[in-house]
Chain A
Amino acid sequence: MSMLAEAPLKNAVPTDQELIDFVVREARLIDQQRFDEWLDMYADDAFYWMPLEWNQTDPRLTCSLMYEDKLLLSIRVERLKGARTFSQKPKSRCHHVLQTPQVDSRDAAANSYVTWTAMHYVETRLEEQTLYAAWATHHLSVEDGKLRIKLKRVDLINCDAAFGNIQLFM
């Protein structure tokens, strides 16, 4: 199946390969700046979480780099299109290199699947190119015959470092 279109699941329960393809496709949509399609991969009640602390367990009473629901994610996507978004003039570009995602757990009865993916992420704008190393944990479920992200957690290896602008999505 081509990576360009979203593949419907063959059966009610996704195979490991379907979970892996889904995670790989997500990174590709970000790299290709297809953010509207990217946003559609998220469930309506999804969260995107980037902890600030190593092994952080609490997104509510401990600060995070990002802990955003779909409304905030859609605001980010709209902002990237804005005519007066000066920090994106010129635009940033990004590049993911993923290890093969590992399926950490699958629970068809609970409709819950978790994958773990080591990755390098490069973001670039003007002369600056910055490399980040991270692990992405995807909590996925099947909705209307399609996989959807319930939670994407991105743990940066140097989560507590002082960064400049990180403008896109990891």
Chain B
Amino acid sequence: MTRYAGNAAALRALVREQEVHRDVYVSEEVFQLEMEHMFPNSWVYVGHDSQVPNAGDYFGTTIGTQPVLLVRHTDGKVHVLHNRCPHKGTRITSETCGNTGKFFRCPYHAWSFKTDGSLLAIPLKKGYENTGFEQSHAAPGMAPVRHVRNYRGFVFAKINGGGLDFEEFFGESLSSFDNMIDRSPAGQLKVAGGVLRYMHNCNWKMLVENQTDTCHPMVAHESSAGTVVEVWKKAPPGTKKPMAVEIIAPFMSPYEFFENMGIRIWDNGHGHTGVHHSIHSDYSAVPGYFEKMTAAYGEERAKAILGENRHNTVYFPNIMIKGPIQLLRHFKPIAANKTLVESWTFQLVDAPDMLLERTLMYNRLINAPTSIVGHDDLEMYERAQEGLHSNGNEWVNLQRLYSPDEAEQTNVAVNGTSEWPMRHQFRAWSKFMTMGM
């Protein structure tokens, strides 16, 4: 049954000021429309250019559910191509990442393409003479994604023409990327340590919302972080606090901690928790790091960079970054009830290895399929995905600290337990879902 296709009014009606309809999470039709409209209308994260350092390097990923390739062309420029042979549709690359040399070669009929996607050669080319091939969809080669922006190494792409340009879409939210990158004395990040992949039987938006949900840690994570706190209490007095305890214990901070830490709201669904402080604020100093930062930036600027302790920055639609520990989580939609979560870690170029060590420990303690903290969250998402099928109530409540004039406001910092960021994400969802419809 089709209820929403081509019906912008019906889609808009799913998002109210203080609640959203369950169909945004459970309807396969709404999911398909997200893939057709919402993702193509948005600037979506593709990858980091350190994943393709040399000409011919490629990395395969998705924009929504569409397969794309991030590739470094011979001129050094990074391109995003639809990962599909223009001939029969075959996926061009056999591995997720690698180096293709000077050209891509389709494994089915050996059509070949330059690394900017343009058609290089077809075997038995004579067979296409006088067939009008030049006017075909296949002639240009692998279709490029036209709108690509490399922001200080982070590559975003927008599939549709029109809509917002990159600066309009992100606005001041790019300051969280700046802070994460500036934490390198060289002002540069590099993907390092390997990617953790975690399959979730729930809608992708549940993960996005959870990044600014500060009322759940002390409840859902009592099982993991609460146990850490209890076990650590039994350690003999004077024992040095292990890195693992420094990382997990702050999840059990009381409501006041999260209320006071603040949330900042930006346009288009972006925002971050941790305006004043965050769960990352009290990590031990890493020997030699501040000295390197001071040498690179001067003491005042180094202090300002490291003084920012943004907890989670959400970039609508589907990534989150943690600046203070250089981590990016990508919530990749697969179906209305299925999401692949990739957690990527970054090395601060020219900084001590211990920082990467801490980043990796955080990633495996919090984001791994073997992580006890991750188990707490996934259990709740999967229960919600099931519970939403109840007809007792078709609406999800997002009312906490609502203010009637909030839709007009932007770049404001509010109480850290507000559900304003989630309401703002859905305002953006509604906007990009129906844009041009």
A residues contacting B by CB (< 8 A) are: 50, 52-53, 60-67, 69, 71-72, 74-76, 78-79, 82, 84-88, 160-167
Interface size of B by Cβ–Cβ distance < 8 Å?
Answer: 41
**In chain A, what residue has the closest Cβ to B343?**
A63
User: Whole-angstrom distance between the alpha carbons of A133 and B376 in the complex?
Assistant: 25
- Which residues does chain A contribute within 8 Å of B365, judged by CB atoms? 72
The answer on a CB contact under 8 Å between B231 and A71 is yes
Q: Which of B358-400 contact A (CB under 8 A)?
A: 360, 363-365, 368-370, 372, 374-376, 378-380
Tell me how far the C-beta of B191 lies from the nearest C-beta in chain A, rounded to whole angstroms.
11
User: Whole-angstrom distance between the alpha carbons of A87 and B197 in the complex?
Assistant: 19
The answer on a CB contact under 8 Å between B374 and A165 is yes
B193 within 8 A of A: yes
User: Whole-angstrom distance between the alpha carbons of A64 and B362 in the complex?
Assistant: 11
Within 8 Å by CB of A87, from B231, B364, B379, lies: B379
User: Whole-angstrom distance between the alpha carbons of A71 and B227 in the complex?
Assistant: 11
Within 8 Å by CB of A163, from B199, B226, B353, lies: B199
Within 8 Å by CB of A164, from B242, B353, B378, lies: B378
- Which residues does chain A contribute within 8 Å of B380, judged by CB atoms? 86
- Which residues does chain A contribute within 8 Å of B220, judged by CB atoms? 86
Tell me how far the C-beta of B91 lies from the nearest C-beta in chain A, rounded to whole angstroms.
18
The answer on a CB contact under 8 Å between A79 and B224 is yes
User: Whole-angstrom distance between the alpha carbons of A110 and B54 in the complex?
Assistant: 46
Within 8 Å by CB of B378, from A52, A72, A87, lies: A87
The answer on a CB contact under 8 Å between A162 and B199 is yes
B198 within 8 A of A: yes
- Which residues does chain A contribute within 8 Å of B345, judged by CB atoms? 63
Mark each residue of chain B from 332 to 366: 1 if its CB lies under 8 Å from any CB of chain A, else 0: 00000000100001000000010011001001110
The 6 closest A-B pairs by CB, nearest first: A162-B197, A87-B379, A163-B369, A85-B223, A87-B375, A63-B194
The answer on a CB contact under 8 Å between A79 and B223 is yes
Within 8 Å by CB of B228, from A50, A67, A75, A162, lies: A75
Q: Which of B189-203 contact A (CB under 8 A)?
A: 192-201
User: Whole-angstrom distance between the alpha carbons of A110 and B41 in the complex?
Assistant: 64
B residues contacting A by CB (< 8 A) are: 192-201, 220, 222-224, 226-228, 230-231, 242, 244-245, 340, 345, 353, 356-357, 360, 363-365, 368-370, 372, 374-376, 378-380
- Which residues does chain A contribute within 8 Å of B368, judged by CB atoms? 65-66
User: Whole-angstrom distance between the alpha carbons of A94 and B77 in the complex?
Assistant: 50
The answer on a CB contact under 8 Å between A65 and B370 is yes
The answer on a CB contact under 8 Å between A79 and B227 is yes
- Which residues does chain B contribute within 8 Å of A72, judged by CB atoms? 244, 365
The answer on a CB contact under 8 Å between B230 and A164 is no
The answer on a CB contact under 8 Å between B363 and A63 is yes
Within 8 Å by CB of A52, from B192, B194, B200, B231, lies: B194
User: Whole-angstrom distance between the alpha carbons of A136 and B380 in the complex?
Assistant: 32
The answer on a CB contact under 8 Å between A78 and B364 is no
User: Whole-angstrom distance between the alpha carbons of A78 and B224 in the complex?
Assistant: 9
The answer on a CB contact under 8 Å between B196 and A63 is yes
Tell me how far the C-beta of B167 lies from the nearest C-beta in chain A, rounded to whole angstroms.
34
Tell me how far the C-beta of A30 lies from the nearest C-beta in chain B, rounded to whole angstroms.
14
User: Whole-angstrom distance between the alpha carbons of A66 and B360 in the complex?
Assistant: 11
Q: Known contacts A52-B194, A63-B194: does B363 contact A87 (CB below 8 Å)? A: no
The answer on a CB contact under 8 Å between B196 and A66 is no
The answer on a CB contact under 8 Å between A61 and B370 is no
**In chain A, what residue has the closest Cβ to B353?**
A61
Tell me how far the C-beta of B154 lies from the nearest C-beta in chain A, rounded to whole angstroms.
20
Q: Known contacts A79-B224, A84-B223: does B370 contact A74 (CB below 8 Å)? A: no
- Which residues does chain B contribute within 8 Å of A71, judged by CB atoms? 231, 242, 244-245
- Which residues does chain A contribute within 8 Å of B369, judged by CB atoms? 65, 162-166
The answer on a CB contact under 8 Å between B370 and A50 is yes
Most central of B198, B226, B231 by chain A CB within 10 Å = B231
**In chain A, what residue has the closest Cβ to B193?**
A63
The answer on a CB contact under 8 Å between B223 and A162 is no
Within 8 Å by CB of A161, from B197, B244, B245, B356, lies: B197
A sample of 6 inter-chain contacts (CB < 8 A) reads A50-B370, A69-B244, A71-B245, A82-B223, A88-B223, A161-B197
Tell me how far the C-beta of A21 lies from the nearest C-beta in chain B, rounded to whole angstroms.
27
The answer on a CB contact under 8 Å between A164 and B244 is no
